[in-house]
Amino acid sequence: MTSHSESPVAPADPGHRASVPTRRTQRERTAQAEQALLDAAETLFAERGIDQTSLADVGQLAGYSRGLVSHHFGSRAALVERLAERIQNRFVTELADADLIDTDMDAVEVLAQFVEDYLTAMVGHAQTGRAFLVMWGAAIPADAALRPVFAIDDARFRLGTQTLLRAGQANGTVADSVDQEATAAVVVGMVRGIAAQYLIAPKAFDLPTAARTCRQFLRNSLSPQRDDRPT
């Protein structure tokens, strides 16, 4: 059995200044443990689902005890919330910061590129995408503890889309007739639905073609008619 105690150290060469390993701070050790636990939870949720994963399972896969999982997160619901936040930030931070985009950008092209990138990321990191969609689905029941978590995350996603559409209407790259709120809901549903279908049955359709079709759909639906563009 491997021991974690220190190994004997040979006497140092008087002419050689030995390097002293940098000790990690408590904060660094805590952050490392939290990320390892979240990684383990992501793996297990993607493989088994939430209900079939216990805190003990998460701790075991991460190499820690169940007690440490409880110490870091308190409950499985809190663990799920933290993981959902991490994954959502990974996928939608770019769109949430859409108000920082240059005012002269073509908002339709920015949104179309984001949709394509989102789909690529969701399936390119299939385990992460699957874990996210498992958690998102678990928020649907009326009494689900996750409902508030995903309601906030989805609202953030829609708000980023609305902000981008508003900027596009201001600079003439999005038609004035476009309803920002309804379109944002359609965009979220489009990317989540396509990603879910692909993760369930990846051979059912060609994802790059679906992504290009989304881009064309957004151009046709959101761009102003040629006669309406500012001169």
Question: What's the domain range around 119?
Answer: 77-225
User: Are 57 and 44 in contact, with CB atoms under 8 Å apart?
Assistant: yes
Mean pLDDT value across residues 142-170: 90
Give the rounded percent of residues in the chain with a pLDDT score beyond 90: 53
pLDDT, tens digit (0-9, with 9 covering 90-100), for 167-219: 999 999 999 999 999 999 999 999 999 999 999 999 999 999 999 999 999 99
CATH code, 135:
1.10.357.10
Question: Does any domain span residue 188?
Answer: yes
pLDDT, tens digit (0-9, with 9 covering 90-100), for 110-121: 999 989 988 988
Q: Give the residue, 150 or 9, on which the prediction is more confident.
A: 150
Given 74, 95, 113, the domain boundary residue is: 74
Measured from the Cβ of residue 204, the count of other Cβ atoms closer than 10 Å reads 9
65 and 90 inside one domain: no
Buried b (16+ CB within 10 A) or exposed e, 107-123: bbebbbebbbbbbeebb
Checking if the pLDDT of 162 tops 60, the result is yes
Predicted confidence band of residue 74 (pLDDT cuts 50, 70, 90) = confident
pTM: 0.76
84 and 180 inside one domain: yes
Q: pLDDT averaged over the chain? A: 84
pLDDT, tens digit (0-9, with 9 covering 90-100), for 39-71: 999 999 999 999 899 999 999 999 998 888 888
**Collapsed DSSP state (helix, strand, coil) of residue 211:** helix
Instruction: Give the pLDDT of residue 6.
Output: 35
What angle do helix axes 76-96 and 147-171 make, rounded to 10 degrees? 0
Q: How many domains does the chain have?
A: 2
217 and 107 inside one domain: yes
